[in-house]
Chains A and B, each alone.
Chain A
Amino acid sequence: MTERVAATPGLYPLPDWAKETLSDLKGHQKGDLLSGDESEAIVEQYDEVRAEYVDDQLDAGLDRVVEGQGRWDDMIAHPLTVHESVETGGIVRYYDNNNFYRDPRVVDDLDFSGDVAAELESAVELIDGDAPLAATLPGPYSLAQLATDEHYGDEAAFQAAIAEFLAGEVEAFPAHETLFLVEPSLVTNPPAEGEESAATDAIATVADATDAEVVVQTAYGALDEKLYAHLVDEAGADALGLDLVAGDRDDTVYNVQEFGATDSLALGLVDGQNTLVEEPETLAERVEWFESQVPAEGFETTYLTPNTELFYLPANKYRAKLNALAAAAEVLE
């Protein structure tokens, strides 16, 4: 019997009040973005934001609760942009979106930071045992793609160093049920043929650092078939996360039929980049339809997730999307 779990990798939009208070406290320019050693006044604002995110998720009834990553000004590049061995360069485009982040230029050894672990500790206190925690990190492949190496000097060494760094961060995390590794670059800028294993090794390095169930969440369409096969076999993921909203869904179905799947799956069902709120019944049908395409006995767990981060949405629609996911899981019970 497949367990259905409604969850998100986080990266939520700031509540509207916090958009105002934080832009007043921090400013609008590049130099004003989060450095990791923010003032007490800013910390307090983020504490309130985090509490609101936890309430939003508990109110919606999600099966995993994330910290929400309100502090991640640079989206999934955050763990690097607040790192001491990183200098931030210009503002660069975040995937194919009208969004931008600071180019993280790695200039020294990526040693332990603990920034994300500290966020998660705060979240655990707020959740207070009401739901299992899910942690989120960028996947090492995407993080290496989003960053600039000015220290390691070699692409493979850089990717491996980023993987080691992320693994070290994971080891400091409080107990978590699920770890999302967000990996959009696997679709948008896949490894060259023959270099897939370097990417999957890097992911496995991070996955091995936790006992939690690991979801490697891809986005922006279907994976290339060869890469897909490598990911299933080698990445150490309990679940691959597949985008069923963007791109050609048939390609994803083909991959799963042709190459099998991880024991569990995460389905990107809810459109993280459109305000149209899906009906829970429609989402539930899509889950059953996708599961029926796969010639397996059934999955251990199917995660019901958005296809991307949710920060692209206005705050009211982000909440509506959480509710839709949780309600869809209920329809399937």
Chain B
Amino acid sequence: MVRNPSANREQFRPHDHPNESFLLTTVVGSYPKPKWLNRADELVDDPESKFDDGDLEEAHDDACRLITHEHERAGLDTVVDGEMRRNEMVEFFAERIDGYEFNGPVKVWGHNYFDKPSVVEDVTYDEPWLVDEFEFTSNVSERPVKVPITGPYTLGFWAFNEAYPSTEDLVYDLADLVNEEVEKLVEAGARYIQIDEPALATTPEDHAIVGEALERIVSGIDEEIRIGLHVCYGDYSRIYPEINDYPIDEFDVELCNGDYEQIPTFTEPEFEPDLALGVVDAHTAEVEPVEEIKANIRQGLRVVPPEKLTISPDCGLKLLPREIAYGKTENMVTAVREIEAEIDAGEIDLENPLADD
């Protein structure tokens, strides 16, 4: 059953918010790394170089500060550090969870590889995974910080399972570890957590496993904490309306990429969590004009009222040129603020949001 999103949404409204309406703006997480950071990641492995782990940590801190501020400059209500410290969404966590080992890269397609880990014994929780980076980002940010975490279904199914009788069993153990991490993040002050489950898009028939994993993740987590779920592009009709039963506050979707053809999927039955709608495409290297983004935002109003609508890019922006990623984010926020003003002024028919006024 859906959590209580109205109990945690208002805390993200900035004190100087210009409009009565409030469409929460956020990002999915990843952001292009500055070139120098990629160089620094390579340099630390070069035995000839004096650049050491301490230098790399400083570089990561600098990059996180930079991208967090870039998000603030774009006007976002909630920010992320752009995942500057993370290499890949499974690897990063597998390195921090006892029970995983790495054997080397495997092919995804062509010459694109992924260091797919193996689970060789029961997974256990050792040191916190993200608390340090959350505290760092929180300290350098004026705005609330969202924490994206790769979900247990993806952490389980995008690994080799050597140790568990079924990968489903592995997923539930991982979900308990994610729950422990969320508790620690909450203790450290986090109020907005996003679980990323891209693997669900490719195997939608497993939606019940993801549901059970989410129950474990949110166990004991207070309703003031906002829990989002992000699932990238796929056939959402295969997991809707089942996601209405998920214990989440917000469901984040990639629909701009498919020109909103799937929006009607979410209108019947009524959409229960808040909708976090992707309104800029993460796979095209052109900045959408504000007017186009405003039209995209109206698509979201077909599904939920403004007080249940969150606005984000379709997916992480890390593959785009950095200036394009910034341009998209900035235009997105501008479009949201204009739409809010138009709603306040009664210029948008919320019953028929695509209609010209």
Interface residues of chain A, those whose CB is within 8 Å of chain B, are: 13-14, 16, 19, 22-23, 26-30, 32-33, 73, 91, 93-94, 96, 98-101, 273-276, 311-317
Cβ 8 A contact of B103, one of A33, A96, A311, A317: A317
Add 7 more A-B contacts to A98-B158, A276-B162 (CB < 8 A): A16-B104, A23-B111, A28-B110, A94-B109, A273-B160, A275-B103, A313-B106
Contact of A33 among B106, B110, B118 (CB under 8 A): B110
Distance of A316 Cα from B118 Cα, bound (Å): 13
Which residues does chain B contribute within 8 Å of A313, judged by CB atoms? 106
Partner of B106, one of A13, A22, A94: A13
Binding site for A on B (CB under 8 A): 103-113, 116, 118, 158, 160-162, 202-203
Contact A99 B109 (CB under 8 A): yes
Residues of B within 8 A of A29 (CB): 110
User: Could you tell me if B160 and A276 are in contact, using CB atoms closer than 8 angstroms?
Assistant: yes
- How distant is the Cα of A312 from the Cα of B116 in the complex, in angstroms? 10
Q: How far is the CA of A135 from the CA of B105 in the complex (A)?
A: 27
Chain A residues in 8 Å Cβ range of B158: 98
How distant is the Cα of A26 from the Cα of B161 in the complex, in angstroms? 32
Q: Which 4 pairs show the lowest CB-CB distances between chains A and B? A: A23-B111, A314-B104, A100-B109, A314-B103
- How far is B113's CA from A14's CA once the two chains are assembled, in angstroms? 11
Closest beta carbon of chain B to A26's beta carbon, Å: 6
Q: Are A100 and B108 in contact (CB under 8 A)?
A: yes
Q: Would you list 20 pairs from A and B whose C-beta atoms are within 8 A, ordered by A residue? A: A16-B105, A19-B111, A23-B111, A23-B113, A26-B110, A28-B110, A29-B110, A30-B110, A33-B110, A93-B202, A98-B108, A99-B109, A100-B109, A101-B109, A275-B160, A312-B107, A314-B104, A314-B105, A316-B104, A317-B103
Q: How far is the CB of A73 from chain B (nearest CB, A)?
A: 6
Distance from B277 Cβ to chain A, minimum over Cβ atoms (Å) = 26
* Residues A314 and B111 in contact, CB atoms below 8 Å apart: no
- Enumerate chain B residues within 8 angstroms of A100, measured Cβ to Cβ: 108-109
Given A98-B202, A275-B162, A316 and B111 contact (CB-CB distance below 8 Å): no
Contacts of A317 in B (CB 8 A): 103
A28 touches B103 (CB 8 A): no
Contact A274 B161 (CB under 8 A): yes
Chain A residue nearest to B102 (CB atoms) is A314
Nearest B-chain residue to A311, judged by Cβ? B107
Which of these, A22, A98, A99, contacts B111 with CB under 8 Å? A22
Do A32 and B111 touch (CB < 8 A)? yes
Determine how close the nearest CB of chain B comes to the CB of A285; give it in whole angstroms: 20
Contact A274 B106 (CB under 8 A): no
Nearest-Cβ distance from residue A116 to partner chain B, whole angstroms: 19
Whole-angstrom distance between the Cβ of A76 and the nearest chain B Cβ: 14
In the complex formed, the residue of B with least CB distance to A34 is: B110
Other-chain residue from A27, A30, A314 in contact with B116 (beta carbon distance below 8 A): A314
Contact of B109 among A26, A27, A91 (CB under 8 A): A91
- Given A32-B110, A32-B111, A274 and B160 touching (CB < 8 A)? yes
Closest-CB distance, A246 to chain B (whole angstroms): 13
Q: Do A73 and B108 touch across chains, with their CB atoms under 8 A apart? A: no
Residue in chain B with minimal CB distance to A30: B110
